[in-house]
Structure 1
Amino acid sequence: MCESLAPTRHYGYVQISARGDYAVRAALSLARAYPALMSAQAIAQDQEMPRKFLEAVLADLRRAGVVRAQRGAEGGYTLSQPPRDVMIGQIIRAVDGPLAGVRGLRPEETQYTGAAENLPNLWIAVRAAIREVLDEVSLAEVLSGRMPAHVRKLTTRPDAWQPR
């Protein structure tokens, strides 16, 4: 899987990168202020994150068309679309690339022989599961706490909050 959602060799879990986390948090600050502009400094203070790192993340989001930047004394950043139209997966991809990969390949590009010949099907399912959450939850839904029922249901499973 890609760096942002890669099983770690040591712990074996899906991991959201610092860039991905900061990008989503910055986008949530912008969603709360939408359509007003926010300076990088205001976002950094709101989310308690380093401004320099945040500026690099905001540049990635701008290049991907997720945010717009306005220069000048009254400048800052704003979302390019209303918060209800910006999905979390879109933000993660903007800073980290594809949601799921296997050794640098897209799941559908993997091929194995012998006992592992059916493994690409599992990698495709993993990507589909990640998409089912990240591509179906908007900034507005996270901000309001009213996420889609299928996502809320995942958080109510008995083991959902337990580390493994």
Structure 2
Amino acid sequence: MRISARTQYALRAAAELAAAPPGPMPAEKIATAQGIPRKFLDNILLQLRRAGLLHSQRGPDGGYWLARPAGEITLADIVVIVEGVSEGGDHGGYPGVASPLAEVWSALRDHEEMMLADITLADIAGASVRLGDESR
């Protein structure tokens, strides 16, 4: 799976909001904390707000905050909003001995999707991600 810079920025901004105290967080503060270009971030925040993942408030005390608890928002939620639904590619046409590779790519894609769906923003903000830990 290739994660675009836009998606990485969206994940970082959402993690910043998940770790923030309650209340609106200005976009400038998110941009500075995560080293994200402000104009790029503004477009990402707008996309996340339109998708219902964030709320926003204008004005001097304005900013953005998560629309749901961080424990209810998975990394997959954000990836799907920013990247769209994965098509998965067409790996079914390999000839001869290479034909089983299609199953390998499919299993890999399924594993990636399950992993992203299992990790929440609360996990990221709380630094409790244990990759490969089956006890979660």
TM-score (norm 1): 0.71
> What's 1:95 paired with?
82
1:135 partner SS: helix
What does 1:10-21 align with in structure 2 at a 5 Å threshold?
A: 16-21=3-8
Contact persistence 1:34–1:82 (CA under 8 A): no
Question: Structure 1: where are the runs of 5+ without partners?
Answer: 7-15, 155-164
Name the counterpart of 2:117. Answer: 135
Change in CA separation of 1:118 and 1:50 when aligned onto 2, cut-off 3 Å: same
- SS across alignment from 1:54: helix
Task: Say yes or no: does 1:124 pair with 2:106.
Answer: yes
Deviation at 1:128, TM superposition (A): 1.1
Q: How many aligned positions are there?
A: 133
Which residue identity lines up with residue 142 of structure 1 in the other structure?
Answer: I
Deviation readout 1:50-81 (Å, 9 max, x if unpaired) = 10000111112112221112223322111010
Which deviations, in whole Å up to 9, do the C-alpha atoms of 1:74-114 show, x marking residues without a partner?
22111010111110111111111235622xx6xxxx54264
Structure 1 63/119 Cα, relative in aligned 2: closer, same or farther at 3 Å? farther
Runs of 4+ in 1 over 6 A off after TM superposition: none
Q: Which sits farther off after the overlay, 83-92 or 116-125?
A: 116-125
> Could you tell me which residue of structure 2 aligns to residue 51 of structure 1?
38
In structure 2, list runs of 5 or more residues that go unmatched.
Answer: none
Change (3 A) 1:113 1:32: closer
Report deviation, 1:130. Answer: 0.5
Q: Which has the higher contact order (CA 8 A, sep 6+)?
A: 2
**Structure 2 SS opposite 1:121:** helix
Identity across the alignment (%): 37
